[in-house]
């Protein structure tokens, strides 16, 4: 039986990979999950001799079972090319404490590029395979990084339009500049008067609005998603965890079979879920350390089994993690509940109606003992940037710093000496102000963009092209709307 996808809320909604990618979010509001997690069919030794592209192909072919080899290789090779500023695609940087897996060498200097540089190819291939004639409208809510990475991936891709909603006051200056200067006739960017959770809820509501979907269909359009609720976003992320293990082995940093820990700065729970899938496939991973900022709803969940979003929302220096409703957790919940759609529906309804749900702590420990949750305060995050810089001259961004501090605290507390990979999710150049403040080199008279010259001198790294590009770019997107106007804004863009 070949692997297919089912909705976490309805196991009768069974789809091929390509149809699950096109659909994005299931019509019942659920997320598509693979019917099984396939085992790697190559040994780590074999994988350690492969290029990133080769590893990515060998991971994705096991999940995207209705793609031909030619189709999938085309997607992989078109995505992971010279758009990345290093042939390694995601290099590992070793310090005394950990290996930082730099996932920010793509076009928009955040880890979202790892999946969003391939998603447009997966999407257009899926449309072709299924004889879809409609134009695909990618609706995206962003906490800052997904938006730009999706815009860059889909700009001027024939047969697609992309509409991005970002929280007007909830992203960094550079994140905002990156989005509002985006070129491409098929791109639309909107700031909302609200936070990321409101943007995401608004987008999900549109996906599930039957009337709206009918209107689109009559106009020759259909929605899909570039958020990590799309399985086409999630699976490409599994590849880099497999690849990082293979690389550690190739570099003789670990013995074959030696377990490693992975620490991930978490928001919507996509990145760490990919690490979990990598483990399920057979990558020797022990602990999965889920790092949060002050919006530490996941820390509490892994400690107590209670997921409670009724709490103050904090704007932090790691804005891409300012999230209280972590969508992808639904996929893990489905698994914890023994792949039960009924139980998942029940819990998700509780979250919607009461703002919380509970999994018995003993069930949590029994089914996913590898997860460990902790968080870093704003002071700890800044202190971590300073500490890593002072110790090694290495400058990390604010999100990576959250993970780095949580990893440090975990090691101190448990004495666990297992070698650890930290997902380094953004370039420090994307969060220049907070990073420079942390290492005591801020200059309030300079704009965030101009401050990058100083960062370059301090970090002894080149300013990435992504920053150079926005220095003199024209602002092309000025739309701002209220949360309740999102749907009308979409209809207006599409001329419906
Ligand atoms: C999106 C993002 C995160 C959170 O990743 P999730 O997959 O949503 O958990 C962390 N750091 C950065 C820089 C991001 O852009």
Q: What is the mean pLDDT of residues 191-211?
A: 94
Give residues (CB < 6 A) around ligand 1: 110-112, 145, 228, 265-271, 320-321, 399, 425-426
pLDDT band at 471, cuts 50/70/90?
confident
pLDDT in tens, 438-460: 999 999 999 999 999 999 999 99
- Which phi and psi angles does 223 have, rounded to 5°? -80, 150
Q: How far apart are CA 491 and CA 496, in angstroms?
A: 5
- Which phi and psi angles does 277 have, rounded to 5°? -60, -40
Of residues 197 and 62, the one with the higher pLDDT is 62
Local structure of residue 267 (DSSP, 8 states): S
Q: Whose CA is nearest to atom 14 of ligand 1?
A: 320
pLDDT in tens, 122-169: 999 999 999 999 999 999 999 889 999 999 999 999 999 999 999 999
pLDDT band at 1, cuts 50/70/90?
low
Return the SS3 of 368: coil
Per-residue model confidence (pLDDT) at position 472: 86
pLDDT in tens, 42-82: 999 999 999 999 999 999 999 999 999 999 999 999 999 99
Q: How far is the CA of 228 from the centre of ligand 1 (A)?
A: 10
Per-residue model confidence (pLDDT) at position 172: 87
pLDDT band at 409, cuts 50/70/90?
very high
Mutate to test the pocket of ligand 1, among 425, 426, 430 (most ligand atoms within 8 A of CB): 425
Q: How far is the CA of 241 from the centre of ligand 1 (A)?
A: 15
Mutate to test the pocket of ligand 1, among 141, 266, 323, 397 (most ligand atoms within 8 A of CB): 266
- Nearest atom within ligand 1 for CA of residue 145: 15
Return the SS3 of 420: strand
Q: Whose CA is nearest to atom 15 of ligand 1?
A: 145
Q: How far apart are CA 86 and CA 76, in angstroms?
A: 16
For residue 471, give every residue at least 6 positions away whose Cβ sits within 8 Å of its Cβ, in sequence order, or none: 449
Task: Specify whether the CB–CB gap between 176 and 433 falls below 8 A.
Answer: no
Beta bridge partners of 135: 221
Average pLDDT, the chain: 96
pLDDT in tens, 270-311: 999 999 999 999 999 999 999 999 999 999 999 999 999 999
Helices (H), 368-482: 378-392, 398-414, 432-438, 448-459, 465-471
Report pTM. Answer: 0.95
Residue 392 is encoded by which pair of tokens? 């090694």
């Amino acid at each position: 039986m070949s692997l297919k996808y089912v909705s976490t809320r309805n196991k009768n909604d069974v789809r091929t990979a390509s149809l699950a990618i096109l659909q994005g979010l299931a019509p019942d509001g659920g997320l598509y999950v693979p019917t099984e997690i396939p085992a790697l069919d190559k040994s780590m030794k074999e994988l350690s001799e492969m290029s990133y592209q080769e590893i990515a192909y060998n991971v994705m072919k096991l999940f995207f079972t209705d793609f031909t080899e030619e189709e999938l290789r085309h997607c992989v090779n078109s995505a992971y090319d010279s758009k990345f500023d290093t042939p390694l695609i995601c290099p590992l940087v070793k310090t005394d404490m950990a290996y930082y897996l730099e996932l920010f060498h793509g076009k928009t200097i955040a880890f979202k590029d790892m999946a969003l540089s391939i998603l447009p190819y997966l999407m257009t291939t899926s449309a072709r395979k299924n004889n879809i004639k409609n134009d695909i409208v990618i609706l995206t809510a962003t906490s800052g990084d997904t938006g730009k990475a999706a815009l860059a991936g889909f700009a001027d891709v024939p047969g697609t339009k992309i509409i991005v909603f970002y929280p007007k006051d909830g992203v960094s200056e550079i994140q905002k500049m990156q989005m509002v200067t985006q070129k491409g006739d098929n791109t639309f960017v909107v700031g909302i008067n609200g936070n990321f959770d409101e943007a995401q809820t608004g987008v999900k509501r549109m996906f599930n609005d039957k009337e709206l979907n009918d209107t689109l269909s009559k106009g020759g359009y259909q929605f899909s998603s570039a958020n990590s609720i799309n399985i086409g976003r999630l699976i490409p992320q599994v590849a880099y965890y497999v690849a990082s293990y293979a690389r550690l082995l190739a570099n003789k940093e670990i013995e074959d079979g030696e377990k490693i820990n992975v620490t991930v700065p978490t928001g919507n729970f996509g990145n760490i879920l990919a690490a979990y899938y990598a483990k399920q496939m057979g990558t020797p991973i022990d602990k999965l350390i889920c790092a949060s900022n002050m919006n530490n709803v996941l820390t509490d969940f892994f400690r107590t089994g209670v997921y409670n979003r009724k709490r103050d929302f904090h704007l932090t220096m790691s804005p891409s993690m300012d999230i209280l409703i972590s969508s992808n957790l639904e996929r893990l919940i489905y698994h914890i509940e023994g792949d039960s759609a009924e139980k998942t529906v029940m819990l998700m309804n509780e979250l919607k109606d009461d703002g919380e749900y509970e999994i018995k702590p003993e069930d949590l420990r029994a089914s996913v003992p590898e997860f460990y949750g902790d968080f870093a305060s704003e002071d700890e995050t800044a202190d971590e940037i300073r500490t890593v810089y002072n110790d090694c001259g290495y400058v990390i961004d604010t999100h990576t710093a959250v993970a780095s501090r949580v990893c440090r605290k975990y090691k101190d507390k448990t004495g666990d000496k297992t070698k650890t990979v930290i997902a380094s999710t953004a370039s420090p150049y994307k969060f220049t102000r907070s990073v420079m403040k942390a290492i005591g080199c801020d200059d309030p008279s300079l704009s965030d963009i101009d401050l990058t010259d100083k960062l370059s001198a301090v970090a002894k790294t080149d300013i990435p092209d992504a920053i150079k590009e926005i220095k003199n770019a024209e602002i092309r997107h000025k739309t701002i709307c209220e949360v309740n106007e999102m749907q009308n804004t979409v209809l207006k863009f599409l001329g419906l």
